[in-house]
Amino acid sequence: MMRTRIGIALAGTAATVLALAGCSGDSSPLPGSTTAAATPGASAAAPAATPDTSCNPRASLRPTGALPQPGHMPAGSYMAKIQAQGRLILGTSQDTLLFSSRNPFTGKVEGFDVDMGRQIAQAIFGDPNKLQIKVIGYDKRVSSAKDGSVDIVADTMTANCARWKDVNFSSIYYEAGQRVLVSKDSPVKSIDDLGGKKVCAASGSTSLDNIAKAKSKPIPVAKASFGDCLVAFQQNEVDAISTDDTILAGMAAQDPYARVVGVPFTQEPYGMAMSKAHPEFTQFVNAVLAKNRENGTWTATYKKWLGAFGAPPAPPVAEYK
């Protein structure tokens, strides 16, 4: 019962942090404002669709030639358009600790995913700060990249064949796997022990689909964001949260009465999403990622945000079509 009382207090703290978002200078909506259909309370997820295996989702567009010098993007390219607008518009979340979360002291969104965007801005402008962050809902990640309302999405987003039909993905920049977060006094050891129990994930995430596919038949509960899942968990509205281990690690760091259990039961390769209308931009992004794997930038970024979890692994190996 102690977790319940403490958890409610922590949920209030989380709500305060999210409320601070309205005071920042980012052109970002408040959490949930882009996902109205998913925000009011817990809603059961639709049955999981049959997975699309029609492609190799890890294979992106091969870079061609050397990277242009910053500030000198090829005429007529999408990179030149970004250069002309004076900033790279990055779509991401603001409540995924360590990857893209709002710092309550500075009001800025920061993390591993944000630094991926900053590295693309550096390559275009020679200045990583030429970045405008637009906070988007999990269920708006594909549509935001597809309709051009952002230039690129970096938001713990799994590259899969269904999404490839709507957007281009970069080469894989991070490997994650789905696990489960439960209270420290819970006997649950894995997703197999959650049959008939309410398990939360964000609307529009592959995590929600994976919960619905679990043989133990847990009850998937959709929330607008994983921050909302954490609040629901702390208030005992759901029994567990299940998503990528990286996201769960950030949640466990916020709640001393929670723990992450089980081995990963999925593979979640993260890619950055862009409009299919500008393949040269995808090739450019892949060239930046290739350079940063080789020169140690990827490893330094891992150490900066995730070093507390151990020595950095080797960067994901790029695969191309």
Last-in-domain residue among 219, 242, 261? 261
Domain count of the chain?
Answer: 2
Residues 167 and 277 in one domain: yes
Q: Which residues of the chain have pLDDT under 70?
A: 1-49
Residues 22 and 170 in one domain: no
pTM as predicted: 0.80
pLDDT of 49 reads: 59
pLDDT of 18 reads: 36
- Return the closest-CA partner of residue 155 out of 36, 263, 63, 268: 268
CA distance 205 to 156: 10
Tell me the residue range of the domain where 132 lies: 59-175+269-320
Q: Is 247 helix (H, G, I), strand (E, B) or coil?
A: helix
Last-in-domain residue among 241, 261, 281? 261
Q: What is the CATH number of the domain that holds 214?
A: 3.40.190.10
Using the structure block, give the residue that is written with the tokens 């200045």: 127
Residues 74 and 160 in one domain: yes
CA distance 237 to 229: 9
Bin 89: left if φ > 0, else alpha if -120 < ψ < 50, else beta.
beta
HSE, side-chain direction, 13 A CA sphere, residue 134: 17
Residues 76 and 167 in one domain: yes
CA distances from 310 to 91, 254, 264 (A): 28, 19, 17
Assigned domain for 32 exists: no
Residues 182 and 167 in one domain: no
Residues 76 and 159 in one domain: yes
Assigned domain for 33 exists: no
pLDDT of 47 reads: 53
**Alpha-carbon torsion, ordered 285, 286, 287, 288, to 10 deg:** 50
Phi first, then psi: what are they for 145, rounded to 5°?
-75, -40
Last-in-domain residue among 215, 241, 261? 261
Task: Tell me if 60 sits within 8 A of 171, measured CB to CB.
Answer: yes
Residues 206 and 79 in one domain: no
Residues 139 and 9 in one domain: no
pLDDT of 253 reads: 86
Using the structure block, give the residue that is written with the tokens 């079509």: 321
pLDDT of 202 reads: 93
HSE, side-chain direction, 13 A CA sphere, residue 37: 7
- Return the closest-CA partner of residue 187 out of 233, 240, 237: 240
pLDDT of 53 reads: 85
pLDDT tens-digit readout, 14-48:
433 333 333 333 444 333 333 333 333 444 545 55
